[in-house]
Structure 1
Amino acid sequence: MNPGKRFRLGVDFHEWDGIFQGSRSHVLNIYKEAIKACPDVDFVFFLGDTASLAAQHSEFRSANVKLVHMPGSHGLVRLGLRLPYLCWRHRIDVLHTQYRVPFVRPSAVACTIHDVLFETHPQFFSPGFVKEASFTFRMAAKRAALLLTVSQYSKSELCRLYGVEPGKVQVTYNGVDRLRFYPGQDGAQQVADLGLVSGHYILVVGRLEPRKNHLALIEAWARLGPTAPPLVIVGQEDPGFPDVKRAIERAAKANQVMLFSHLGDDVLPAVIRHAGLFVYPAFAEGFGMPVAEAMASGVPVITSNTTSLPEVAGDGALLFNPASADELFETMTSALAMTPAGRAQLVQRAQAQVEQFAWRRSADVLMRGLLSLRAR
């Protein structure tokens, strides 16, 4: 590559066109910081809805950013035809993708694989997805010049399962937006408008699917008895797993259970901030954003002792075995009985723990890795 030529980075940004989930939040927030940190890099983003991205996030209107329309299509078409052509058309030096890589490498490729939970916990995924993802993720791990992932746990699993050399994988943690998730009383009226009493409800946030383990939480919460704080569940329904929502609806008829399928981005931080206790009982996660966001919000947190969750929680949360509703019940009982001093100490440790989860820090790791590919 000509040393005097500006570095042109292509980014498969089709996650913007999809549902609100972890990979979408990751790629959006890490590049908001990367754009600001690297004015000498030309960023070229490939996605469908370029207008909404530019309208909602000013960083993507920067002078060193170009938004290129990439029509929505099946992954085979995107990976087999569209991305190779667009990289050629826009003279891309390095392409950054999520999870999968183009079948024909148009340039050096870096790929973020957030997790490989389908390999270790296949019971939570459809057989078709497990088969397809195992093939395409392995191909990405083999063919990408650089791999990125969101936790040390996910890095170790990539190396163990796919035979990847540790030096090929960089960890770009998910970040916490401290302008949205912080302690205090802000948003009290928003919470009251939802029929909630500040500090007097137990909260869980997560998509309604078996991996998130809502059923064990409902069971443990019911055992707390009639004086237990209401259980508030925030999560979108997964059509593939209707049993979870039905169980929540049955519990809601007999007890103080409230389900919010959709909360606006301006309301969710307030609902987290004003919870008396946050519980995240997932069986497995590649990172676990809700845990970090709740810890940043000054709320006592209980979460599972499996996969990446102890890494995210550090000593800032109480841990339990997600396979044991008894252990979850005992941990919730202990958390609810904490003294004000014990609660304050846990929250203080949590605040220190989440300092490491900053988008700017992860963007620096990302860009160092991508820039290292420019001469290859």
Structure 2
Amino acid sequence: MPAQADRWTVDFSCALHNRTGKFFIGRDLIADQTDLIDTVQYWRVPLRQPPAGITAKVIGRLMAIEHKMRLRLPSALKAASTQRTPILHTDPFSVLHRGAAPCDVVICHDVGPLTHTDLFAPQVTELYRRVYELIAASGCRVAFVSEASRAAFAAMFGTSSHHVLIYPPLRSEVARPAASAVPQVSGPFLLTVGSLGRRKNQALSIGAFARSGLAARGFSYVLTGSREPGWEQVLAAAEQTPGVVLLDYVTDEALAWLYGNAAGFVLASRLEGFGIPVAEAIAAGLVPAVTANSVLTEVAGEGALAIDPDNADSIAEAMQHLAMMGEEERTRRAVLLSQSVRRFTRDRFRAAWRALLQPAGAIAHTPVSGAPARPNNQHEWA
């Protein structure tokens, strides 16, 4: 282990191209632990704020070139020196350019590139296979954002006492009172929040909404999120289905309004690291219908409706259930759901990370270099 006086270097390279749950976890962690952090770097560039625009693109391109080189030259992929400053990797892929040492900590959001190879390009699967092998061989500490992710990693690489579970917190931004309604939305509606594409399975959910008959009863189905691979199919399905409202980015205030006015929340995702939108929906008082036997049921608990993500009829039945649910059942489920999301507080998140990063000796406060400010008012969700 490094000397106790050492502070952490945080590799926040995922912020170069990511404003999903990974970004919010890294942002909150850095803000909470400033006195333990020496510098925040993006690839190899220390900056006071996450880069944007052309700067982010240039840094990201240089990082991609180095990663490609290292993957082509196996000899370049080796354990990092244990004599350097400990590194906190906010995403596993940064071990490609920094290496991994026993003194490091890596945040693992999911192992989807290995467990759901059909959702990723072959080069992405290969990249993460090498990354996870490096992490497992290094003996570094790994912080998982869900028990599901920890179990999936253990099934492939074995268990370790250095593996810990730290749940992310709910974002405070969406808890603020909403300024105004979303103009495109009127009447009762069901809601899905998350990046639009194959992974979140929205095209099948839209087909399920058509089967449910809810549009004829005056319901609409609102989906909001950024675009990821497979978004074209989601867009095509939305354009062909009456009652579907497809939104791009929305402000935090608009998102809060959507959570506060929906009749229910639906997420039949095929892969999640944690599922922040589900927790946010529950905190806003919604009953969710989520993928059975997944991290989403880990997050939501017993109060959620469980659905088969490969079965449109299962999703349609859950949508009907949410739309027509009586107040007695809704109240009963809300009690169970609220108990579940109490685990995801900022105080618990802060304390768990403090325990993991804090050395035995006291560390004097030093302002952090590169702590990220909150991005603009438009977001994606993991």
Q: Tell me which interval the TM-score lies in, with the shorter structure as reference length.
A: 0.7 to 0.9
Q: 1:190 is paired with a residue of what secondary structure?
A: coil
* Map of 1:269 onto structure 2: 256
Higher relative contact order (CA 8 A, sep 6+): 2
**Counterpart residue type for residue 288 of structure 2:** V
| 8 Å contact from structure 2 (residues 269, 291) kept in 1 | yes
| 8 Å contact from structure 1 (residues 204, 232) kept in 2 | yes
Matched, 1:180 2:174: yes
Alpha-carbon distance in structure 2 between the residues aligned to 1:373 and 1:238: 43
* Map of 1:152 onto structure 2: 147
Aligned residue pair count = 338
* Map of 1:28 onto structure 2: 27
* Map of 1:281 onto structure 2: 268
Match runs of 1:97-246 below 5 Å = 97=89, 98-100=91-93, 101=95, 102-104=97-99, 108-165=103-160, 167-178=161-172, 180-181=174-175, 186-187=177-178, 190-191=180-181, 193-197=182-186, 200-225=188-213, 226-238=216-228, 241-246=231-236
Q: TM-score, normalised by structure 1?
A: 0.80
Q: 1:74 is paired with a residue of what secondary structure?
A: helix
| 8 Å contact from structure 1 (residues 30, 359) kept in 2 | no
Alpha-carbon distance in structure 1 between the residues aligned to 2:8 and 2:169: 22
| 8 Å contact from structure 1 (residues 119, 130) kept in 2 | yes
Alpha-carbon distance in structure 1 between the residues aligned to 2:275 and 2:240: 27
5+ residue gaps in structure 2? 52-57, 71-79, 362-382
| 8 Å contact from structure 1 (residues 149, 155) kept in 2 | yes
Match runs of 1:274-353 below 5 Å = 274-353=261-340
**Counterpart residue type for residue 29 of structure 1:** D
| 8 Å contact from structure 2 (residues 2, 84) kept in 1 | no
**Counterpart residue type for residue 113 of structure 1:** C
Q: 1:210 is paired with a residue of what secondary structure?
A: coil
User: Are residues 229 and 136 of structure 1, via their aligned partners in 2, closer, same or farther at CA, if it must alter by over 3 Å?
Assistant: same
User: Are residues 24 and 9 of structure 1, via their aligned partners in 2, closer, same or farther at CA, if it must alter by over 3 Å?
Assistant: same
Q: 2:7 is paired with a residue of what secondary structure?
A: strand
Q: TM-score, normalised by structure 2?
A: 0.79
Alpha-carbon distance in structure 1 between the residues aligned to 2:239 and 2:8: 47
* Map of 1:45 onto structure 2: 40
Alpha-carbon distance in structure 2 between the residues aligned to 1:49 and 1:6: 20
**Counterpart residue type for residue 318 of structure 2:** T
Alpha-carbon distance in structure 1 between the residues aligned to 2:354 and 2:69: 26
Q: 2:33 is paired with a residue of what secondary structure?
A: helix
Q: 1:23 is paired with a residue of what secondary structure?
A: helix
**Counterpart residue type for residue 136 of structure 2:** A
| 8 Å contact from structure 2 (residues 11, 87) kept in 1 | yes
Match runs of 1:21-100 below 5 Å = 21-35=20-34, 39=35, 41-47=36-42, 50-52=47-49, 71-72=59-60, 73-75=62-64, 77=66, 93-97=85-89, 98-100=91-93
Alpha-carbon distance in structure 2 between the residues aligned to 1:133 and 1:283: 19
- Identical aligned pairs, as a percentage? 23
Alpha-carbon distance in structure 1 between the residues aligned to 2:144 and 2:353: 10
Q: 2:212 is paired with a residue of what secondary structure?
A: coil
How many angstroms does 1:19 deviate by?
2.7
* Map of 2:357 onto structure 1: 370
Larger mean Cα displacement after TM superposition, 147-156 or 340-349: 340-349
